[in-house]
Homo-oligomer: A and B are copies of this chain.
């Protein structure tokens, strides 16, 4: 069973009232209405030594930065403003204050830069040398811009991504910059119909937009911005489609809004048009030679832990 099916199953078990929870299970963050018009958004991510990083190769500081950054990236995906984070760590026996200070440095590196206060947490210690775990929950606010959901893509929308994709596993996954500023600029300046952050690979995350918006998509292989890291790999296109952990923004908007974006984009990060939302009901890719093939949602599935389709060029 894949992660998205399980997420859908969880969402089915209890129907949340849309008045109290305008956005429930299944988007990058949930939105919780408090009193009146005010609402708060919340997300959480847990990172494990040996799965999301390898402490024999990276520092605790880098691991903690990544844990903050993946949560910040969820705030970016909704075009919200991060406010506060709480951090849980499980420490292998023998870890002490020195290790906690390193973890704290990594947290502050992200929290200072993105103005997201560390407000609490929980420190636990394993009985023995079980691996380090860090889990963060983050809340954000709308600040004048409605949260951008995965479910708003419309047939005819232009599909765009920020930055360059693939090969994040070569090191970028530890030091990426969450696209908070870019997402805010996008949502404040243009009508963005849907958005997600690329955590599990373009093919996987575009599929989430398609599924939740009940649309299809056609992307062009030639248009996909392949990172320098992905170009070092055996199959750069498959890498850009499926590697995951790019933490760039994937978003859709109308042709009109895209024209405005072409003129109005003033951020240093590149934005690339990679395709269009269709009514085909499926994801397709136009290969370099011009033929159109179905695009299989590949990418990293935390529950199946395989990269489906990698054997056939990721497609």
Scan residues 220-256 of chain A and give those whose CB is less than 8 A from a CB of chain B. Answer: none
* Chain A 290-311 interface 0/1 with B at a Cβ cutoff of 8 Å (1 = within): 0000000000001101000000
Residue A188 lies at the interface, judged by CB distance under 8 Å to chain B = no
Residue A141 lies at the interface, judged by CB distance under 8 Å to chain B = yes
Residue A45 lies at the interface, judged by CB distance under 8 Å to chain B = yes
CA distance A30 to B104 in the complex (A): 18
Check if B35 sits within 8 Å of A141, measured CB to CB. yes
Scan residues 1-57 of chain A and give those whose CB is less than 8 A from a CB of chain B. Answer: 1, 3, 6, 9-10, 13-14, 16, 20-21, 24-25, 29-30, 32, 34-36, 38, 40, 42-48, 50-52
List residues of chain B with CB within 8 A of the CB of A274. Answer: none
Residues A119 and B13 in contact in the complex (CB < 8 Å), given A88-B45, A130-B130, A131-B130: no
Check if A137 sits within 8 Å of B42, measured CB to CB. yes
Stretch from A120-128, A154-162, A202-210 contacting the other chain: A120-128
- Tally of A interface residues using CB under 8 Å: 65
Check if A141 sits within 8 Å of B302, measured CB to CB. no
Number of copies: 2
Check if B90 sits within 8 Å of A46, measured CB to CB. yes
Residues A119 and B48 in contact in the complex (CB < 8 Å), given A6-B97, A36-B38, A42-B86: no
Residue A117 lies at the interface, judged by CB distance under 8 Å to chain B = yes
List residues of chain B with CB within 8 A of the CB of A139. Answer: 32, 40, 42, 139
List residues of chain B with CB within 8 A of the CB of A40. Answer: 32, 34, 40, 139
Check if A108 sits within 8 Å of B14, measured CB to CB. yes
Residue A84 lies at the interface, judged by CB distance under 8 Å to chain B = yes
Cβ of A38 to closest chain B Cβ, rounded Å: 4
Q: Which residue of B lies closest to A304 (CB)?
A: B125
Residue A135 lies at the interface, judged by CB distance under 8 Å to chain B = yes
Of A13, A84, A87, A137, the most chain B CB neighbours within 10 A belong to A137
Check if A83 sits within 8 Å of B32, measured CB to CB. yes
Check if A122 sits within 8 Å of B1, measured CB to CB. no
Residue A133 lies at the interface, judged by CB distance under 8 Å to chain B = yes
Cβ of A5 to closest chain B Cβ, rounded Å: 9
10 closest A-B pairs by CB: A137-B137, A30-B119, A46-B88, A135-B135, A44-B86, A38-B38, A30-B120, A88-B135, A32-B84, A1-B97
User: Can you spell out 23 A-B residue pairs with CB atoms less than 8 angstroms apart?
Assistant: A3-B123, A6-B100, A6-B123, A10-B104, A14-B117, A16-B117, A20-B117, A24-B120, A25-B120, A30-B84, A32-B84, A34-B83, A36-B38, A42-B84, A42-B137, A42-B139, A44-B87, A44-B121, A44-B137, A48-B126, A51-B127, A86-B137, A96-B303
